[in-house]
Structure 1
Amino acid sequence: MSTRIVVVGGGTAGVRLAQRLPVALLGEEPHAPYNRVLLADVLAGRYAPEVIALPAPLEPVRRGVRAVRIDRAARTVECDDGTEVGYDRLVLATGSNPVLPPLRGLRGSLLPSGVHPFRTLDDCLELRAVVRPGVRAVVIGGGLLGVSAARALAALGAEVVLTQQGERLMERQLDASASELLRTHVESLGVEVHTECRVSGLRQRDGAVTAVELADGFVLDAQVVVLACGVRPRIGLARDAGLDVRTGVVVDDQLRTSDPYIHAIGDCAEHAGRVYGLAGPALEQADTLADILRSEATEATEGTGATGATGATGATESAPAAATATVPAELSAPRPAYTGTRALTRLTLGGPEAGLEALDLAAFGEATPLPGDDVVQLTDATRRAYRKVVVRGDRLVGGVLLGDLAAVGTLARAWEGDEALPDAPLLHLLTHDGGS
């Protein structure tokens, strides 16, 4: 492709696109791109940092470079090292930032010694350097990231307390029964779990954290505090450039922002009012955008598609959205488009390499039934397995599996394809073959 494509962000989405197309990839972190999903395994000692590296893109990544400004008129990206990179198409894959809760003792992004976010490989390595057996560690946040961090710290021998403001662990993914089983599993590792408790502040001495204060007045001694309070789309660069932003950078079905020469994918992108924040949708968006850019390049070469996006800046240049067909519409191949992702959360917590018994879980769709829905649920206490699916009419609309994921492949395919279920007893959905 002759079009100059610049990608800002060396995470899952940006690297996937760079594996499909020759692009100039700007990565802010000094490390080679890595799989962020596996950070907890690095913290626990299950994997070395180099093991979680992502496959190399087609062109070398420019590491340790932060984009600080987009000049949309000149179509350039200014970097913090003073360089400028010109583009014909710009792709924002800036990801997300960890949420820092409004606690007494936290001043903006300035964290006391011993307080760590858990988002990057550097965060992970810093935690490994300070955690040792017997260290008192408090994890704030009982979502997927907080549970993973608590297990990893327990594997290192820390005395871990996990705090969750909500009613249960991983409440976004799991129903009450599955969450209770997860809590039992986490507590069996020696982790103390507090739900429905709000952290109000941090105590410090000489600039180092000493305790965590709860809103009910209870105090938890702490030498290490891990902030796992969720993430927020990183939209500052897009907002400063005047692009349309809401929760994330707003994109259409072509993954275009309000500037037709700029796209956004991954955690920073908001499509049809939704920000996914998961690896699966990020990969699908990157693959779709690769197809879109290839399609437009082919149309431009054949004279059947959009003009522009070639680096020219003339006032008469037309934007990529203004395509004019020169072949009969019925003979034209449909342009690739992103229509959303049916995202499945799948996670393996721990493993023998970390000295912990592994626990597998998967969740998809709507795990909480509506009136009139059918629910099939099986609990196997001996195998510590829990399986539940929600059926609406003849469609599978959601499910949770914990401990035994033998049926997850067939269930996920039926859900993702929105297929009519076979005319068979619903209990068959939870057999090992998913009812196939």
Structure 2
Amino acid sequence: MLRGLRRHGHDGTVTVLSAEHHPVQHRPLLTTVLQGRLEAGMLRPEPEHGARVLTGAVATAVDTARRVVHARQGDTVTAHPYDVLVLACGARPVIPPLPGASDRTGRLAPGVTTLREVTDCDRIQGTAVTVLGGGPLGVETASALALRGTATTLVCSGPHPLHERLGGTGAALLTARLQEAGVEVLGGRRAVRREPGRLLLDDGTETAADSLVLCTGVEPEVRLARAAGIRVHHGIVVDDALRTSDSRVHAIGDCAEHAGRTVAGHESALAQADTLAAVLTGREAAHRPTPAVLRLRTHAVDVACVGPLAAFRRSGIRTVGLLDPAGRRHARLALDGDRIAAAVLLGLPEAIAAVSHLHRRGLPVPSDRLSLLLGIRSHLPPAEDDGRADSLVCLCNQVSRRQLADAWELGARTVPALVRVTRATTGCGGCTERVERLCAGWADAVGRELEPTP
């Protein structure tokens, strides 16, 4: 958001109130830190020029009549006037009513944590860890812990992790892949009590849990907006200009509800931030939701869900599928005519790249659908490195120029570092030279900036 404002010519002061005690963090890469493949400091960007960042500043109230935000920093209460206020409150983790996991005030017990901040990674200790929750974060967290050599158990209430998103066949293959990667998966179980060092389940079994990680969902953080009288439904309701019911207050990210829905994820938040930066600097801009794409960050298997899964049930939709149990590969396409309405893919990285690209651009699928799903290179679309920030550089892992640039700004200043952070080049390898050129170009630009003026 700050970078977008500067890019569009805003040169005034921007005050950032951050409840966290560390600089703004790149939350999508927390599981990469958990793996031990990325240093925590790389998630903290360099301060943006002109930004006044106040860490540990908890916003307590918004006075929309006087246009003032009240905040608390330690024992000090401060007031911050505003001309325009942007609420980027994110989402807060849902804590299940699990005996032994938290006290009456909601404070988590020792050995129990969520995964929302870098400091949460440090709380996950011991030789045996149980992860509760079968959603994307639960799968990524369990996979990351297994990769670093921790005895890891994943407990979920559904038959398999991501069962609702992948369907029975895909979810069963995901379970098999996770177990091959060292994760014990206990599906169809419900946690009934947490005790130090273990988690008791409803079937009478127990799992070792020196640490218990709660990946049990999130909900938009709307309490500040609701108390200020700003319209709230599930999230903070915004229009196409990301403006709330108060014309001087905007909302972006996980807390915002646009066109009747909230959309979690880094890509959606970036798109909203870009739109709002343009709006606030006087440009004509309207937010349009980005195509829904779920791509797991896990070494166990490549998984993607493209588009709304409800499309599979729409009238007139044709379904194309591929099932390879021996190779642990699975794909389903929902075709509306010759366009992709939705897709579920597992174990097919090149097909994920091609299908995601075709869906994003609204392009027709090739007549040879089997070759598309098998990822035959002749059916991959050409690289899109056309200089735009959202152009895809790595098709296999859906890594854009913007994501590589963000990783560079966060401190990944070499090709191996960029690879560790973004997974670019780790699919078919066809983008390696492109990533190398971008990395060298950014390094040259920094070098020119540091050269003394003649």
Shorter chain as denominator, the TM-score bin is 0.7 to 0.9
More helix per residue: 1 or 2?
2
1:167 to 155, 159, 166: 159
Tell me if the contact between 2:4 and 2:277 (Cα under 8 Å) persists in the aligned partners: yes
Deviations 1:71-130 (A, max 9, x none): 111111111032211111100001011110011223342122111111111111222xx2
**CA-CA distance at 1:288 after TM superposition:** 0.6
Structure 2 unmatched runs, 5+: 382-454
The number of residues matched between the two structures is 367
2:282 pairs with 1:285: no
Partner of 1:123: 120
Tell me if the contact between 2:5 and 2:281 (Cα under 8 Å) persists in the aligned partners: no
Tell me if the contact between 2:340 and 2:365 (Cα under 8 Å) persists in the aligned partners: no
Partner of 2:303: 361
Deviations 1:386-417 (A, max 9, x none): 33321122321111232332233442233223
Tell me if the contact between 1:92 and 1:264 (Cα under 8 Å) persists in the aligned partners: yes
Q: CA 1:92–1:432 in 2, change beyond 3 Å: closer, same or farther?
A: farther
1:50 to 41, 45, 48: 41
DSSP-derived class of the 1:226 partner:
strand
Alpha-carbon distance in structure 1 between the residues aligned to 2:289 and 2:148: 39
Partner of 1:112: 109
Alpha-carbon distance in structure 1 between the residues aligned to 2:220 and 2:233: 10
1:176 to 164, 168, 172: 168
Partner of 2:432: none
Tell me if the contact between 1:150 and 1:191 (Cα under 8 Å) persists in the aligned partners: yes
Tell me if the contact between 1:267 and 1:275 (Cα under 8 Å) persists in the aligned partners: yes
Residue type matched to 1:141 in 2? G
TM norm structure 1 = 0.78
2:191 pairs with 1:249: no
Tell me if the contact between 1:15 and 1:33 (Cα under 8 Å) persists in the aligned partners: no
Partner of 1:97: 92
**CA-CA distance at 1:49 after TM superposition:** 0.7
Tell me if the contact between 2:146 and 2:183 (Cα under 8 Å) persists in the aligned partners: yes
Moved more, 282-291 or 395-404: 395-404
Deviations 1:231-290 (A, max 9, x none): 111111111111111211111111111101000000000111111111111111111111
DSSP-derived class of the 2:153 partner:
strand
Partner of 2:56: 64
Q: CA 1:367–1:245 in 2, change beyond 3 Å: closer, same or farther?
A: closer
DSSP-derived class of the 2:49 partner:
coil
Partner of 1:375: 319
TM norm structure 2 = 0.75
Tell me if the contact between 1:344 and 1:412 (Cα under 8 Å) persists in the aligned partners: yes
2:140 to 122, 140, 148: 148
1:179-328 equivalence runs, <5 A: 179-203=171-195, 209-295=196-282
Structure 1 unmatched runs, 5+: 1-13, 204-208, 297-334, 351-357
**CA-CA distance at 1:193 after TM superposition:** 0.8
Alpha-carbon distance in structure 1 between the residues aligned to 2:21 and 2:84: 24
Task: Tell me the percent identity.
Answer: 36
Tell me if the contact between 2:20 and 2:57 (Cα under 8 Å) persists in the aligned partners: yes
2:370 pairs with 1:427: yes
**CA-CA distance at 1:217 after TM superposition:** 3.3
1:387 to 319, 326, 331: 331
**CA-CA distance at 1:194 after TM superposition:** 1.1
Q: Output the aligned Cα RMSD.
A: 2.3
Pick the structure with greater CA Rg. Answer: 1
Tell me if the contact between 2:5 and 2:278 (Cα under 8 Å) persists in the aligned partners: no
